[in-house]
Amino acid sequence: MTSDRSDLCVQVLEAVPNCARLSRLLECFSNEFARAPSFIVRCSGRVNIIGEHVDYCGYPVFPMAIEQTILLAVAPSDDNLLHIKNADNHFKPYKCNVLTFSIDVPTVGGPNWYQYVLCGVKGILENSTIPHEAPRGMMIMLSGNIPPASGLSSSSAIVSATVLGTAYMHNATLNKQTLATISAECEKFIGTQGGGMDQAIAYLAQEGCAQLIEWNPLRATPVQLPANGVFVIANSLSEANKAATSDFNQRVVECRLASRLLAKQMKLNWRDLSRFADLQKALGYSLEQMEALVNGNLGLNVYTRADLLKLLEVTEEDFTNNLLTPNTRHSQTFKLRQRALHVLQESLRVQQFIETARTYPDDSISRMKSLMKQSHESLRTLYECSHENLDRIVEISDQLGVGTRLTGAGWGGCVVALCDGVEESERFVEALKTKFYSNIPKAQTCEIGSLCFTTSPQRGAEIYLIEKQNNILNPSA
């Protein structure tokens, strides 16, 4: 491997970090493969503070990396096989040939955990635009403490960690922006039409700051949060796997159809304008003007398939094959107006949140709380991606004056809450214990600290090198 990996943040630790999970991962790897790994990849989960379901429409988002992580221990194998194991024995292992494997997602239940690993390997090895060594087998052991299907990006963290690990193993020296772009494309191998936020923050995160992530070109701008602001993440204990149903892609499709229909009405080249941000740029409009355009032009609460065939002047075959995704081809009705209004209004909220953080008025936390509350209400009513458990947590938050919203795709998962100071965050956590978790049987079998916790912005993905002579870890990020 080349020694010039500065853009991948390659560093060296003088000692193994004092981390029980890391020690257990090294032990599991050694027991399984009778050798030490060559390196460890660390990739954080993320929480999106505000800007939900707007990244795939081309608008900025405002996430931060959290303390929960995916760790991958990796070493080369000599048999052209990918040996994929999990330190948690509840997850079955998988083995395949690195030269011939395919990713066949089950039609029921969504992807298996190891298929996210395969996505990352495939993303590097099949990318013809980047130079890398010939495919080689790998031994991979995973350890994760990001709750799955919780809206904290566990699946994207696995994909991103594997992309980084595979790139490093195959001597592909890539910058973080390229890695993030490849990682976002990788998730399409399992049918998820995401926008790239999860992968961007995975690589571009900085400790102590949230990141304003913008697109075309991909760039991240660190934004300092109020010093007395405390973020709490609370798990609703209702899981939502966005790759297991068509709900997520249905919203993506509805946004694309809304943008294209508006473009056609404005006599633009509508097939090339599937994202609201691109349509806005073509029209030279502000977000407020875009909102007025939606209100004036998308008059139906529900558009039928027949409505759209007529309005877009396309055939059934063209509509099905070119304007829908494989898991939305059965869809007969589409809510274009509601989805468009959420995206445009949410993007305005992102602008207002960032402006508040940068100008830091005396009531900055109060303003931010209000924007987060508005965001959740929009996600609940216009985007229809909330869940009764999420709404119950938000209801408790409102009683305490805490600004709370669902984070991630929705339909379950977690909320992110902004509290004014440590005391308010402690009162909020205690209220959730008594008013929410005490009424959920599943919570009785969990450590409460894993369900409801404060967090602060963490660093982006890193690689830890193993020094053979003294078996110590050296991080290289």
Strands 229-235 and 452-455, bridge-based pairing: antiparallel
> CB-based burial of residue 432 (10 Å sphere; 0-12 exposed, 13-18 middle, 19+ buried)?
buried
Distance of CA 2 to the CA centre of its chain: 30
DSSP letter, residue 194:
-
Alpha-carbon distance values, 21 to 88, 258, 320, 450, 461 (Å): 11, 46, 47, 15, 17
Alpha-carbon distance values, 395 to 44, 98, 388, 425 (Å): 29, 49, 10, 16
Token digits for 141? Answer: 């052991």
Token digits for 35? Answer: 């050798």
Residue 206 Ramachandran class (φ > 0 left, ψ -120 to 50 alpha, else beta): beta
Instruction: Please tell me the distance from the alpha carbon of residue 29 to that of residue 35, in angstroms, as a whole number.
Output: 7
318 is catalytic: no
Does residue 454 sit in helix, strand or coil? strand
Token digits for 477? Answer: 């990020």
- List of residues 6+ apart from 27 with CB closer than 8 A: none
Instruction: Please tell me the distance from the alpha carbon of residue 273 to that of residue 323, in angstroms, as a whole number.
Output: 12
Strands 333-334 and 303-304, bridge-based pairing: antiparallel
Distance of CA 246 to the CA centre of its chain: 17
Phi, psi of 247 (to 5 degrees): -55, -50
Q: Is the peptide bond before 217 cis (omega within 30 degrees of 0)?
A: yes
Instruction: Please tell me the distance from the alpha carbon of residue 41 to that of residue 72, in angstroms, as a whole number.
Output: 5
Candidates 79, 198, 247, 362; catalytic one: 198
Owner of token pair 């990849």? 41
Instruction: Please tell me the distance from the alpha carbon of residue 203 to that of residue 218, in angstroms, as a whole number.
Output: 12
Does residue 213 sit in helix, strand or coil? strand
- In this structure, the dihedral spanned by the alpha carbons of residues 97, 103, 104 and 106, taken in order and rounded to 10 degrees, is 120
Instruction: Please tell me the distance from the alpha carbon of residue 144 to that of residue 44, in angstroms, as a whole number.
Output: 10
Residues counted in the chain: 477
The catalytic residue positions are 198
